[in-house]
Amino acid sequence: MKNKLKLIIIVVFLIFCFVIFFKGLNNSNTYIPKINNEKNIPVFKAKEFNSNNYINSEKIFEENIYYIVNIWASWCVPCRKEHSLLIELSKNKSVKLIGLNYRDNLNNAKKFINELGNPYAKILVDRDGILSVEFGAYGVPETFLIDKDKNIIKKFVGPINKKIVEEIKIIIK
Amino acid sequence: MKILKILLIIFLMIGLSPLKSDEKNKALKNKILKNVRCLICQGQSVYDSESDFALSIKLIVDKKINKGSSEDQVYEFLRKKYGDWITYDPKFNKNTYILWLLPILLFLFGGAIIYKKIIKKNYKKKL
């Protein structure tokens, strides 16, 4: 009786371990940090890409519309892939795109924009990556959707795709 | 001569104090960076990594420490941005209680088994 109980406990334990590891196989090995349901945008001062003037975050997000903050760099290959989708989004009047040029060479970044087009209403320079950390980003590309109350309501890690564009379009309608 | 010696000591102390504070800041910075996980490089701390993410975190930690932020304030800032996962030493909360309590429970369980075995052995010896 005692041996039987032991066997049952061992079998249950092994099944438990198997289920945990089997479920883990399907999980992505990249950890995406969860953001709070509503997180205010950080307060910051940043250099403008075209004019080299410094601008306050309040001034950047002053209109009562949705904003998309997209972190990009000319050296980032997936950024090229998503650029046409960003241009598509920029045609929508209820949203403004803000680009955050991440740890990039200014000349290369300008070439990138000249070659692929400029979907951004404003581009900010994040030479040392500190601004991206303020947004809670950890790589490029990364896209944040900001609502009219200036809260980050969505965060997309990696390049955006058509499905994400549709999702954004539904939210900003 | 004695005054000169005292003046020299004071001068050296004043001269060395910023150095000491720099060393202290550097030690604190390294301690924090070793306890912060590099989110894009698996199994590495920010201290060990040279990725863009790690370099940005190093800069921001440096900036915060130079501004006078404490160790806890820096961790709190990073947790706010990236969640508990960013530190190797997660706080006790509803998401991490299993992580904290499981070793204690296993320890108690193992202790109970050992205790039971010893009692059984002693009982058999008495017989």
> Residue B84: which of A143, A37, A31 has the closest Cα?
A31
Task: Supply the pTM of this predicted model.
Answer: 0.74
Q: Which positions in chain A touch B81 (Cβ < 8 Å)?
A: 33, 133-136
Give the residue-averaged pLDDT of B90-97: 78
What's the token pair of residue A2? 């005692």
pLDDT of residue B18: 55
pLDDT at A97: 96
Sign of the Cα pseudo-torsion (A149, A153, A159, A165, in order): negative
Tell whether ipTM is more than 0.90: no
Convert the pLDDT of each residue in A77-121 to its tens digit.
999 999 999 999 999 999 999 999 999 999 999 999 999 999 999
Which one of A6, A13, A31, A79 makes the best mutation probe of the B interface by having the most chain B beta carbons within 10 Å? A31
Q: Which residue from A minimizes the CA distance to B77?
A: A134
Name A154's bridge partners: A145
Chain B residues whose beta carbon lies within 8 Å of the beta carbon of residue A29: 42
Q: What structural domains and CATH numbers belong to chain A?
A: 39-172 (3.40.30.10)
Q: Which amino acid is at B71?
A: E
Q: Give residue-wise pLDDT tens across range A5-58.
A: 999 999 999 999 999 999 888 776 666 656 554 578 899 999 999 888 999 999
Whose CA is closest to A138, among B38, B89, B90? B38
